């Protein structure tokens, strides 16, 4: 059985969302970590759109938020 592969760009977004969650969670808690991951995801895509330096994609934002959510789920299990 072959598992679907995550494109490199989406994997990077997921990892950055997780890292943002971990850093913020360490100092401020789960809710703040989730909020920071979500705000970072949306801000990055808005920046891409406004600056014209990137390609804004909804799936990129969702991948970043998914990383933060995975971190939150892991933190709540501990």
Tens-digit pLDDT profile for residues 20-71: 999 999 999 999 999 999 999 999 999 999 999 989 999 999 999 999 999 9
Cβ atoms 13, 64 nearer than 8 A: yes
Vertex 28 angle, CA 8 and 9, to 5°: 5
- Which one, of 49, 50, 70, lies nearest residue 6 by Cα? 70
Would you state the pLDDT for residue 7? 85
Cut 0.75: pTM above it = yes
């Amino acid at each position: 059985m072959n598992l679907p592969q995550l494109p490199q760009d989406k994997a990077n977004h997921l990892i950055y969302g997780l890292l943002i969650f971990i850093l913020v969670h360490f100092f401020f808690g789960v809710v703040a970590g989730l909020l920071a991951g979500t705000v970072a995801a949306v801000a990055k895509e808005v920046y891409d759109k406004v600056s014209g330096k990137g390609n804004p994609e909804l799936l990129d934002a969702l991948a970043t938020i998914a990383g933060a959510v995975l971190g939150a789920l892991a933190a709540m299990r501990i």
